Amino acid sequence: MDDLKAKYLGQISEAADEDALEAIRLAAVGKKGEVALKMRELGKMTPEERQVAGPALNALKNEINSALAAKKVALADAALDERLKTEWLDVTLPGRARRTGSIHPVSQVMEEVTAIFADMGFAVAEGPQIETDWYNFDALNIPGHHPARAEMDTFYTHRAEGDNRPPHVLRTHTSPVQIRSMEKTGAPIRIICPGRVYRADYDQTHTPMFHQVEGLALGKDISMANLKWVLEEFFSAFFGTHVETRFRASHFPFTEPSAEVDIQCSWEGGTVKVGEGDDWLEVLGSGMVHPKVLEAGGIDPNEYQGFAFGIGIDRLAMLKYGIPDLRAFFDSDLRWLRHYGFAALDQPTLHGGLSR
């Protein structure tokens, strides 16, 4: 037994890797190993001999297994030490900068507008971006000869020859959402309708796709005075300062009376500043909802009346955050977005203005 012990413990001590260690294990304590063969001979011994040889063989087997396990751990530690010598990391070096995404100014302003009107009790309503001719024009009292219905101003969807279904358009405003909301919920109602709209126009202040928010409030005693209060409250909250408004008589097919709305501003160094000065800047159209529009939405104009307004969200972003060209909103320029974009936890601040 002592010879086997010395033999295998010596081999284990000198093993250079785990493969050599496994070969020693098989030769010593494997099923056909030397110790296993010795244990098979116990059956040929007398009881007295077995009482001596059995415990000695078990002790030898346990000692060899313990030595094998210890050597395996030592080899693993040595391998790890060698690996760490070649794969090292200087934890004192600064970390690699990872750019985070930015919130687009349009998305930021959409959230701001929604929050302000929500405080005044307006719910958000949405609708399809591809609309029927009826919802986009007829229900809004826009006559067939109106320029907005021409293909040079409006995007019509393609129809195959012989297709007699009503024409569809990319909505030119979010006003169809007002009609759908009136049909669905009736009156009284108080909603805003933000979303994408489409018109065939492209220059510094117009793009074929842009964003708009429209408002609608219907009740039995709503008046232009309520409209003026709502808009002044909105502008003052949005721009962070008291903003005077000026209403000018105008004409829209879907409102009567109708009014263009200007906000107080000043021009300094080619930049507009809202809420101060003696100048005025036109920002939206509004008015009392036309009785024909109420009827199209299933509302009795003899019982209910109300106001509506519409304003470009992109234009609001330009005014508040000093963005001079609307086309840049949709150029997918990451440099522009990093400059004008917002981090998720940013608090909006007033800066800049609209270059004239």
Which residues are known binding-site members? 256
- Integer Cα distance of 133 and 126 in angstroms: 18
Sorted by sequence, the CB contacts under 8 Å of residue 222 that are 6+ apart come out as 305, 306, 307
Q: What is d(CA 11, CA 26) in angstroms, rounded to the nearest whole number?
A: 12
Token reading at 236: 């003052």
Binding residues for Mg(2+): 256
Rounded (to 5) percent helix, strand, coil in the chain: 45, 20, 35
Q: Are 287 and 258 in contact (CB under 8 A)?
A: yes
The alpha helices in the chain, defined as continuous H runs, are 2-14, 18-29, 34-40, 47-86, 105-119, 133-136, 175-185, 224-239, 291-296, 313-321, 334-340
| Cα distance between residue 64 and residue 69, in whole Å | 9
Alpha-carbon distances of 134 from 97, 149, 169, rounded to whole Å: 53, 11, 10
Tell me whether residue 47 is exposed, middle or buried, using C-beta atoms within 10 angstroms of its C-beta: 0 to 12, 13 to 18, 19 or more: exposed
> How many C-beta atoms surround the C-beta of residue 220 within 10 A?
10
CB count in 10 Å sphere of residue 227: 24
The residue among 62, 48, 53, 49 whose CA lies nearest residue 5 is 62
Q: Which of 170, 147, 139 is nearest to 308 (CA)?
A: 139
Question: What single letter denotes the amino acid at residue 204?
Answer: Q
Within 8 A by CB and 6+ apart from 294, the residues are: 182, 218, 300, 301, 304, 305
User: Two tokens at 260?
Assistant: 């263009």
